[in-house]
């Protein structure tokens, strides 16, 4: 039986795989597991992104929370990192975000934070899942005055704005910024923060209607932002995804600056200021080879984990590092927040621009981005973990690596959230690696379907 929790919570099409019944059970089991050691009546903060299904799933989830005797505080539309922060600040027992991040609007997801604002360990997720599969066996549900209640606090988003300005109190006067809020959770907090720090702001995709989140906008669709930055003669473009835990940038010429480059720019600046702990940045195996070469040149140790910002975070916490993330734009500044935070990343990047007086295009030259090809192979969900068990696929990968002869690499991994196997090939010639990635992805789909 497939594991219910992926790399970033429980996800699926709202109303189908992620049903009302499952949301209620996740509320029940999650609240029970995360609060069973507490002597007091537990409280859980719940927020969502702008998807039309968010209110429906939040209501079901909070019904489950209250049914085991815990209280819920519903804060409405809020970035994922804001929930992590508010969970810590208000000293509640847990936080829950209802979001499918960068996925299309018909998807939704449920992810938990513990009382310290960190994503849950695999062991805790397994405990929640086991309780659901056993239909809450041996759990006594309270009645009467023992059930929980729901409080509504839509004012808390301003606390997050204040926190962001405190983390990076940079003056943005004189900086023209185009920000793409992806019709998502960033549409209020990011716009307000950047304006209050003095930026001349051009804000696009800030009118969510429940169905337009991530639709041809945000960090997964950058063309409009690139063109708008050039048209506006702006200093920088900033793109968030639906729940605003990731950020990608655009320089003044309309060129994309990805998560690897953001970490290289900010990490080097921190090293120069003496604030880069152990002179280390934590990335995943998907990070560009150019990042590793940058680290070697600049005297920065590059620590690598498997794909998923949760694994980056685990490594950072275990070893005392303070910056890490993914090429996709999830960047964790652990001195400030406990999870990837798109607005925080944008502010730290802007801080480097202000401190150095250099344009983003010049700062981005700190690393050379080697050509990469990333192609998704659609496969059955229940088979996606087993792709290397197919001899024909293993042989094709081996042949490709021989062909590159140390001047490229092949990385294949299952998606944590979708029925896909992701094929990434890196090398010197974009045309060659594009062709090879397409061929390999087609082979994987043909063999595994």
Active-site positions read 101
* Residues whose CB falls within 8 Å of the CB of residue 229, separated by 6 or more in sequence, listed in order: 178, 236, 237, 250, 251, 252, 254
Closest by CA position to 102, among listed 206, 246, 285, 261: 246
Whole-number Å distance between alpha carbons of 439 and 434:
9
Half-sphere exposure of 68 (CA within 13 A, CB side): 27
Closest by CA position to 81, among listed 247, 324, 243, 313: 243
What is the three-state SS of 307-340? CCHHHHHHHHHHHCCCEEECCCCCEEECCCCCCC
The crossing angle, in degrees rounded to 10, of helices 391-404 and 430-448 is 170
* Residues whose CB falls within 8 Å of the CB of residue 101, separated by 6 or more in sequence, listed in order: 8, 80, 109, 241, 242, 243, 245, 246, 417
Strand segments (E) across 269-387: 280-284, 301-305, 323-325, 331-333, 372-378
DSSP H or E stretch at residue 273: helix 259-273
Closest by CA position to 341, among listed 190, 139, 209, 228: 190
Q: Is the dihedral of CA 438, 440, 446, 449 positive or negative?
A: negative
Residue 139 has φ and ψ, to the nearest 5°, of: -95, 120
Closest by CA position to 55, among listed 87, 84, 21, 98: 98
105, 303, 355, 398 from 416: Cα distances, Å: 18, 21, 38, 24
């Amino acid at each position: 039986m497939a594991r219910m929790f992926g790399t970033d919570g429980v996800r699926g099409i709202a109303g189908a795989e992620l049903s009302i019944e499952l949301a209620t059970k996740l509320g029940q089991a999650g609240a029970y597991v995360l609060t069973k050691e507490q002597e007091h009546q537990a409280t859980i903060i719940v927020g969502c992104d702008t998807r039309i299904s968010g209110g429906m799933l939040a209501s079901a989830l909070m019904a489950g929370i209250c049914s085991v005797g815990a209280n819920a505080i519903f804060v409405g539309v809020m970035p994922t990192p804001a929930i992590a922060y508010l969970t810590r600040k208000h000293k509640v027992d847990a936080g829950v975000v209802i979001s499918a991040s960068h996925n299309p609007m018909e998807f939704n997801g449920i992810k938990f934070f513990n009382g310290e604002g960190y994503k849950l360990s695999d062991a805790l997720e397994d405990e929640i899942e086991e309780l659901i599969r056993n239909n809450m066996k041996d759990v006594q549900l309270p009645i009467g005055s023992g059930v929980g209640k729901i409080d509504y606090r839509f004012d808390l988003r301003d606390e997050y704005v204040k926190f962001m300005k405190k983390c990076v109190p940079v003056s943005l006067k004189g900086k023209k910024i185009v920000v793409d809020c992806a019709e998502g959770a960033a549409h209020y907090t990011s716009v307000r923060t950047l304006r209050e720090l003095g930026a001349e702001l051009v804000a696009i995709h800030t009118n969510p209607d429940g169905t337009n989140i991530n639709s041809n906008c945000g960090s997964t669709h950058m063309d409009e932002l690139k063109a708008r930055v050039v048209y506006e003669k702006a200093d920088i473009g900033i793109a968030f995804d639906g729940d605003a835990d990731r950020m990608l940038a655009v320089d003044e010429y309309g060129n994309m600056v990805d998560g690897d480059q953001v970490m290289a720019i900010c990490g080097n600046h921190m090293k120069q200021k003496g604030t880069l702990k152990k002179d280390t940045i934590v990335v995943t195996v998907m990070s560009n080879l150019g990042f590793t070469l940058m680290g070697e040149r600049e005297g920065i140790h590059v620590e690598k984990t498997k794909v998923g910002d949760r694994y980056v975070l685990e490594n950072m916490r275990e070893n005392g590092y303070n910056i890490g993330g993914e090429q996709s734009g999830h960047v964790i500044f652990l001195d400030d927040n406990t999870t990837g935070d798109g607005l925080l990343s944008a502010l730290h990047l802007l801080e480097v621009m202000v401190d150095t007086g250099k344009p983003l295009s010049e700062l981005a030259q700190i690393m050379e981005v080697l050509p990469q090809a990333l192609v998704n192979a659609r496969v059955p969900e229940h088979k996606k973990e087993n792709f290397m068990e197919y001899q024909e696929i293993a042989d094709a990968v081996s042949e490709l690596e021989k062909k590159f002869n140390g001047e490229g690499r092949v990385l294949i991994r299952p998606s944590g959230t979708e029925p896909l196997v992701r094929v990434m090939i890196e090398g010197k010639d974009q045309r060659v690696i594009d062709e090879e990635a397409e061929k390999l992805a087609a082979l994987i789909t043909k063999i595994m379907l």
